[in-house]
Structure 1
Amino acid sequence: MSPAFFFSLQSEWLKQRKSLASWMVVVGAFFTPAIVVVARLLQHEALPALYAKEDFWSGLWKSSWESAAIFFLPMGGILATTLIAQIEYKNNAWKLVHALPLSLATLYFSKLAIVLLMLGQFFVLFNVGIYLSAVIPPLLVPGVPFPKGPVPLARFLWDNGVFFLDCLPIVALQYAISLRSRNFLTPVGIGFMLWVGTLAALSWRWNFVIPYAYTMIEYLCAWSSAKVATPAVDIHLMALGYFLLFTLVGYALFATRKEKG
């Protein structure tokens, strides 16, 4: 990592700390675990039997990821990426940014790296939230044992890696679109329409060609009986391919744009 890229990355990180996107990451990560805790405390009479199950951790993991895979990851990726990419437009600061002694590649990829770091932050906080949703009820409700059985860390790490990879096309495409538009609502509207269209197309045999579909396909094929067409290709390779394609196209559009802010 060159010194210029490191300082640009540091600058972008300081910017995002004061943005709405940073709060969205925290709230989105803990929302589902908080709902799980509240629901279990309200139905505390069923907790002893639930916590005695050998597959407790797998059941909690599955139920927690449903909302994340279908809603929070796609919509959070759309909103957070757009907010980060639009910081300079919001503050009329692109001309100042381009006046810095930094290459276009440094500007583009340092901001993209911040979005990916925030995505990683969401995954870490979400996993912490899932763990807390498991241990808080036994601390508050007498007679409820702590979860039986070991935490299947290998499986959980694998799932985290897969879902992270499946999010990358959403981030890259939203980033490319957001840098081309001064209006915040335009990239958000495009992302929202693509997300809704993806939901409608999950039963389509060619669902894997839609870059916003991979977190949903992964969850529904692995853990749900919902009607979804099994993809004919490796969706994780498709996700990686789309990410690289959208990143390169986005950079080309950013670098060749005549109006610099």
Structure 2
Amino acid sequence: MKTLFLSSFRSEWLKTRRSAASWLVIAGGFLIPLILLGARLYQFEKLPTENIHPQLWLNISQRAWQYMSMLLLPMGVILITSLVTQTEFRNNTWKQVHTLPQSLTTIFTAKLAVIMVLLLQGFVLFNIGIYLIGAAPALFSGVPYPAAEFPLQKSMQVTGRYIIGCLPIVALQFLLSLQYRNFLIPIGAGFGLYIASMIALNWKHGYIMPYIYSAYTSAGRNTIGNSNTDPLVLASAYFTGTIILGYLLYIQKKDKA
């Protein structure tokens, strides 16, 4: 079983090389950091003072995550999940996949695993980009290196919360992309739900929107309503329930071509 899964995962991973998904991961990971780095370099005279500030990394990180979580992260997750999942629909190769000696469960989990690895790559690149925002001017222009130590542990904790926050998007886009041949249906539904989530951001019951949790993390919202429930607990429940539903719909779907 493990060998079959690894073979299926490898096959799905190779397919990403012929799609725009890998390029989206790279572009999405570095776009915001490059813009913020450019803004810092434009105000070059302020860099020496900024780099000795003890809160440098916190300020850079908060700004970068704010821009990322409110726009690029949800849209990137929507596009990457749909691109990876619908490879067979675009190439009309589902019949070939289903004739291979592997179960539907293996196909389903391998595709999901590839999506998750791509997203993890994007988060790693984004954190590298955050580091370069503060360190790159010192490396190439003689500006003093940041006096504060890069908060690696804190960065990993924040990244973990954003990863959990975007899981409901992954699950629902995965479900829709497996069910519909037309690429525009899951993309359109995803963008529509994202816009609705942004409108509902300040609504007290906004937590019912599955695409709202990365924005909650950015806003520092750690509880739901008057309860002490962490929104990411509900995000995890959304992900689990939607993935199970997506799996059941996939294996019971009569026309898988």
- Superposed CA offset, 1:198-251 (max 9, x none): 00001100111211111101111269xxxxx86743111111111111101001
Which structure 1 residue ranges, 5 or more long, are not aligned?
224-228
Conserved 8 A contact 1:208-1:231: no
In 1, Cα distance between the equivalents of 2:206 and 2:39?
Answer: 34
Structure 2 partner of 1:213: 212
Structure 2 partner of 1:236: 232
TM-score w.r.t. the length of structure 1 is: 0.94
- Output the aligned Cα RMSD: 1.7
Alpha-carbon distance change, 249 to 182 in structure 1, aligned in 2, over 3 angstroms: same
In 2, Cα distance between the equivalents of 1:20 and 1:121?
Answer: 15
Structure 1 partner of 2:241: 245
Shift of 1:58: 0.5
Structure 2 partner of 1:136: 136
Shift of 1:94: 0.3
Moved over 6 A (4+): none
Structure 2 partner of 1:187: 186
In 1, Cα distance between the equivalents of 2:109 and 2:154?
Answer: 31
Alpha-carbon distance change, 54 to 35 in structure 1, aligned in 2, over 3 angstroms: same
In 2, Cα distance between the equivalents of 1:53 and 1:192?
Answer: 39
Q: Partner amino acid for 1:25?
A: V
Q: Secondary structure at the match of 1:179?
A: helix
TM-score w.r.t. the length of structure 2 is: 0.96
Q: Partner amino acid for 2:190?
A: G
Alpha-carbon distance change, 205 to 181 in structure 1, aligned in 2, over 3 angstroms: same
Within 5 A, what are the aligned runs for 1:124-163?
124-142=124-142, 144-163=143-162
Structure 1 partner of 2:100: 100
Structure 2 partner of 1:83: 83
Conserved 8 A contact 1:44-1:141: no
In 2, Cα distance between the equivalents of 1:154 and 1:92?
Answer: 45
Structure 2 partner of 1:226: none
Which structure 2 residue ranges, 5 or more long, are not aligned?
none
Conserved 8 A contact 2:131-2:150: no
In 1, Cα distance between the equivalents of 2:83 and 2:153?
Answer: 34
Q: Partner amino acid for 2:179?
A: R
Q: How many residues align?
A: 256
- Bigger CA drift: 15-24 or 193-202? 15-24
Structure 1 partner of 2:31: 31
Conserved 8 A contact 1:207-1:231: no
Q: Secondary structure at the match of 1:146?
A: coil
Alpha-carbon distance change, 60 to 222 in structure 1, aligned in 2, over 3 angstroms: farther
In 1, Cα distance between the equivalents of 2:75 and 2:226?
Answer: 22
Shift of 1:17: 2.0
In 2, Cα distance between the equivalents of 1:43 and 1:200?
Answer: 34
